[in-house]
Every structure is written in structure tokens, then in C-alpha cells.
Chain A
Amino acid sequence: MAKSEPKPTPVSHVDEPELHKHDSHETDVHEPGPRNLFQRLYAAFESPGRRRALHVAILAILIVTPWISSQYTTVILTNALLYVVLCLGLNIVVGYAGLLDLGYAAFFAVGAYTVSILTQQFGVNFWAAIPFSLMAAALAGVIIGGPTLRLRSDYLAIVTLGFGEIVRFTARNLEITGGASGLSHIPEPSLFGWHIDSSIDFYYVFVVLAVLAYIASQRLFDSRLGRAWLYVRHDEDAAEAMGINRVATKLTAYVIGAIFGAIGGIFFSVNLGAISPESFSFQQSVLILLAVVLGGMGKIPGVILGAFIVVLGPELLRDFGTLRLLIFAVLLLLIMLFRPSGIWPEKRS
């Protein structure tokens, strides 16, 4: 039966993963021929002057928006900006260093819980609690990354998933984390007398965070470490032969990603004023990863676009009621099928 078809030629490797690993789905930016909309758009802003103008324009839009839109829009946009921070952090792990992480919400949770417990139960000042929170997240990054970085990519994915679930179940079972109902009445922070409590206040806080995350991502990408990540991602063995410490490089990616996640978590918790283990479920990790892959791994504007799609998509589909998540999932599937490297992928050279 299985051998009834005599003629398959070894030339037509339709389902051979290895041979097409460096996929040919994306047209290279430098190649002549049809470019997609984003590539053209991006090319239009290649020059530093125009790039700066674009940055100023986007910043101006971000600053003005809450004054001309409803509170609902402001809240949604705040959420989108939170996702920008989280996605840029995960992008360092997945996009820059090429490590698949399915438990990113764990870092988000560590940041949120540490700061909430310190401020709410021990009365620590919010700003003083932040360094502890970041240290806790970095430590979590080392604990998760340390033993697992030698694993194959899909095993790594599962291990990180397992860690993510362990963090969630631990938060649910411990008393200090408030069990399944989580923590509430997390005190709002104030800065030099400015009490950050309204939705617009938090919107601006997240604008600042997103801008900082953007700048940090960009600078990391251009740094010596960023090039080391690129090298390790493309060819670990060659990288090691050139004197790059493979494990340390990957671990740094984990720790920096964890810190981004924790920053998101810290401000997420004070924004909502309440957190529960379900805020940090596997679905959360998947959503962040989807945004990164959807937009285009390793490409900062792509990742930001992905974050906005993931947050705004379900909102825009709200008219469809219960079907909206289904429609959203189908759209995601279609995007992955037709643009496997994301909507706005990193250009390959």
C-alpha cells in the first residue's frame, strides 16, 4: 500500500524541513522586484532625518491621543503599550537570541507579585520595591535559563512552559500570594507628589515605559551583545569558535528579557490594583509570543505592530460577540500560513 506509488523523485522535497530551513518565503529587501507595503514604508524612513521625524510624530500622537479619545480607548491603548513592553522583552529572548520561550508570563508574574507583596504586605515604598522586583525576575531568569539552555529548541519551549505553569500554580497555592483570588488593593504609586491613579496617568506611565523599552531594544540590538546574540542564533558552534561564550550570551538574553517582563508586571499590577494567578496563565504567554512572531521576530517595528494587533484585534472584532476570539484565531492562523516569518520580518542578509 505504502509502496504503491513508485515514482516520487528525491527532487520534490515538499515536506522536508531541513532543506528549506533558511526559508525563501520572504523577498529580500535588497533584491529587486515586488516589495511589500511594509518594506516600502520602512525604506521610506531609512534616512536618519526622516526616522527622527517619524519618531517625533508617533510620540506626538501618543501624547495627544488621551485628550481627544474616550476613556475606553485610553485604557485599551494602555494595555497595548503594556504589550509593547512585554513583546519587546520577549523579542530579546526569541527574536534576538533565538530561544523559544513559552513561559514568559512567569517573569511578568514574578515582577507583579514581588512588587505587590512588598508594597502591600510589608509597606515598602513602590519605587524602593522595584529593584527587588527586578532582581527577583533576573534570578528567575537565571533559574529557568541556567539548566535548560543546552536543550533543543522545542524542548526548551516545553521546559519554559512547564516553568510558567509552575509559577502560576505556586502563586495559586501559596498564602503570601493570596491564593487563587490573588492580591487586591495594591497601593498606587506617587512620584514627587504626583499621585498616579487615573487611567490617563497610567497611560502616560506606559508611554514612557514603551519608549524606554524601544530605546533599550534598539541599543541592545546595535550593541556588541546584540551582535553576539545574532551570531549565536545563526550558528552556535561558529560563534563559540569565535570566542563567544554561548551559555553566558543566552543567559544574558534570558535575564534581560525577564527584566523587561518584570517591568511590565510591576506597572501592570499597580495599574489594575489587583492581580490573580490567572493574569499570568499560559494564554498570556502565548499571546505575547503570538504578537512577537506575528509582527516579525527580531524586528522592533514589527514586534510593536504585533503587540498592537494582538491587543486591538479582539477589541475591533467586538461586534462579533462570542465569535470574535474564533475569528481572531483564524486570522492568526492565516497570517502564519501566508507569512510564516511574520507580517514585517527582519531582513535577511
Chain B
Amino acid sequence: MTWYDSFLQQLVDGLVLGSFYALVALGYTMVFGVIKLLNFAHGDLYMTGAFAGFGGLSLISGFVGTGWLGIFIAMLLAMLAVGCLGVVIERVAYHPMLGAPRLSILITALAVSLVLQNAALAMTGGQYTAFRTDLGFDGFNLGNLYLSYNQIVLVATAAILMIALELFVSKTLYGRAMRAVSIDKDMCRMMGINVSAVIAVTFFIGSGLAAAAGTMAGAYYGSIWYFMGFLIGLKAFTAAVIGGIGSITGAMLGGLILGLLESFGTHIPFIGSEWKDVFTFSILILVLVFKPTGLLGKSEVERM
């Protein structure tokens, strides 16, 4: 393999990884946009989404099999279920806390994360669950580069979801309301926008996207477990920060950049794959310290 082929292979790997990061990062950034909360439970919604997708697939596999169609339907079911879960979490845990000190609501988010993780732990006994599909590893060669259909479909699905979200936010009434709420909630109320409904919709979409990523990751990697959401939650947050937290395009961009950085970064001499996570968190810290607004974020003058 020449360096060029190797470069392309890393590019593909980076795009796949980046798609997961971007989908999860979107939820972080959207929730942060409307209620200025770092939803620590978001990574666990991704995990719940993987389990919901697994459950959905087990339910319907008798009718549609475990091929593309089955996984697609399971993904939609998971998005719906976890989307609703996200709304319930917002109503039950975050809504009453919005007036409380900022630290308290962060801790509440951590508590929600613990609840989700331990619920999954209690149900699975901490074992890895095999996510069996009929996808196989078929693909085709492009020069020396091997592309599996899974990778292509995965990146394409992620791209479609992100384009749909972008259209939703920029074109629809709810999308406009969402952007307005993220700027000034009081003014929105005075203009007759149902702020609570907008927040609920935001949680629904964010959680649904995380669930889509979870199901796809489960099908792609072939196994799921209760703790799978933790690291990706942190990394998706990093992606959101790189792109500029609060900015939807930024989250997509940040996710892809982080995926590519990780994919290429692990091939820099002296930085083996075991230093991958250190590399990621170093990027996070450097971005936060030197450019806290990220690539596309708006600067805001705010202090606790």
C-alpha cells in the first residue's frame, strides 16, 4: 500500500467515526443551545438507542429479517423510543431544575446518566450483547482501497439525517422557533412562542439522533454494552466544542474533524493507538483554553 492508499483508508475510517461523533454531538449542541445545559446523559441516550435498536430488531426480525430493511426500521423505532425518553427526561429531571443553581442541574444530568447506565447494567448483567445482523462485510475495491457497503450506507444515512436536521432548523417554523429560543427565551415568550414545546422538540430530535447513531454503531461494530455511551459522549462533546457549542453546523463539522483527527492522529509516529484518547482530550482542552467559541460558535460574554 502506498502512502496515498493508506491516506484514503484513514479518510474512510475517519469519516465513519466522524459520522457517529457528529450525530451524537448534534444532540449536545442543540440542548446546550436552548437551555444552556451540558446534558451529561446524552452519551447514555446513545447507549440506550443501541439497546432500543437491538430490541426493535429482535421484535421485527421475524418479518423483515436482519438485513438493511430490518436495521432501518429498528433504527426508526429506536429513534422514536429514545426521542420520547429524552422528552421524559427533560420533563422529569431538567425542567424542574432550570431555576436551580447551575451546578445542581449539572449534577442532576450526571444522576440521570447514572440511572440510565445502571438500568442497562441491571438488565444485561454487564455483559456485552451481540448485535447480530446479516450485513456482512461485502464491499468493493477502489484501487487499493476497500470500501464496505456498510461504511457507505452508514455515512450516507448520517449525512441524510444531518441534512434533514439542517433543513428542519433552517426552513420550518419549529426550527425557527428553536433558533429564537436559543437567543432569547423571554422575548420568545412575549412573541407567543411555546418555549416548553420547543425545548421538548429539541430534546426529542437530539435524543433521536443519538439513538440513530447508537443503532448504527451497534450494527456496525456488532456488540453493545451498558458503558458504550460514556467515551463517545465525551468525544461527541469534544466535537461539539471544536465546532462551537450551540452551532448545529459546527457540531457536524466538529464531529467529522474529530473523527479524521483521531483516525490520522493515531498514525503519527510516537502516538500509538493507545494514546488516541489522550490525544482527543488534549485537543478538547486546547480548544477550550485558546478558542472556547470553537470554529463556528458565537462569542458570548458570560461568566458564572
Contact = CB atoms under 8 A, between A and B. Distances in A.
Contacts of A293: 103-104, 107
Contacts of A148: 285, 288-289
Contact of B102 (A2, A154, A286): A154
Q: Secondary structure of the B side of the interface? A: helix
Contacts of A33: none
B104 A340 contact: yes
Contacts of A230: none
A319 interface: no
A16 B304 contact: no
A19 B125 CA distance: 44
B196 A14 contact: yes
A287 to B, nearest CB: 9
B302 interface: yes
Interface residues on B, range: 35 or more
A336 B241 CA distance: 27
A330 interface: yes
Interface stretch (A67-75, A163-171, A217-225): A163-171
A49 interface: no
Q: Secondary structure of the A side of the interface? A: helix
B192 A5 contact: yes
A23 B278 CA distance: 38
Contacts of A19: 99
Nearest to B95: A15
B292 A289 contact: no
Nearest to B196: A15
B197 interface: yes
Interface in B67-99: 92-93, 95-99
Given A100-B106, A325-B121, A329-B118, A5 B194 contact: yes
Interface stretch (B14-22, B108-116, B129-137, B246-254): B108-116
A161 B238 CA distance: 11
A349 interface: no
A8 B195 CA distance: 9
Contact of B274 (A7, A13, A15, A173): A173
B35 interface: yes
Name the residue among A10, A15, A322 with the largest chain B CB count within 10 angstroms: A15
Interface in A84-117: 94, 98, 100
Interface in B214-270: 230, 234, 237-238, 241
Contact of A20 (B99, B106, B173, B303): B99
B99 A16 contact: yes
A196 B185 CA distance: 60
B213 interface: no
A195 interface: no
Contacts of B285: 147-148, 159, 162-163, 166
B240 to A, nearest CB: 10
A158 B93 contact: no
Given A236-B303, A293-B107, A340-B104, A325 B122 contact: yes
A25 B97 CA distance: 10
B99 A23 contact: yes
Contacts of B96: 337
Interface in A314-349: 322-323, 325-326, 328-330, 332-333, 336-337, 340-341
A54 interface: no
A21 interface: yes
A72 to B, nearest CB: 24
B198 interface: yes
Contact of B173 (A1, A98, A100, A337): A1
B177 interface: yes
Contact of A341 (B104, B111, B289, B292): B104
B5 interface: no
A308 to B, nearest CB: 18
B239 to A, nearest CB: 12
A323 B125 CA distance: 10
B122 A340 contact: no
Contacts of B98: 14-17
B149 interface: no
Given A158-B38, A337-B97, A15 B185 contact: yes
B31 interface: no
A162 B122 contact: no
A168 to B, nearest CB: 9
A142 interface: no
5 contacts: A8-B193, A14-B99, A15-B185, A151-B288, A290-B107
The 7 closest A-B pairs by CB, nearest first: A20-B99, A2-B177, A340-B100, A329-B114, A162-B281, A153-B304, A326-B118
Interface of A: 1-10, 13-17, 19-21, 23, 25, 94, 98, 100, 147-148, 151-155, 157-159, 161-163, 165-166, 169-170, 172-173, 236, 282, 286, 289-290, 293, 297, 322-323, 325-326, 328-330, 332-333, 336-337, 340-341
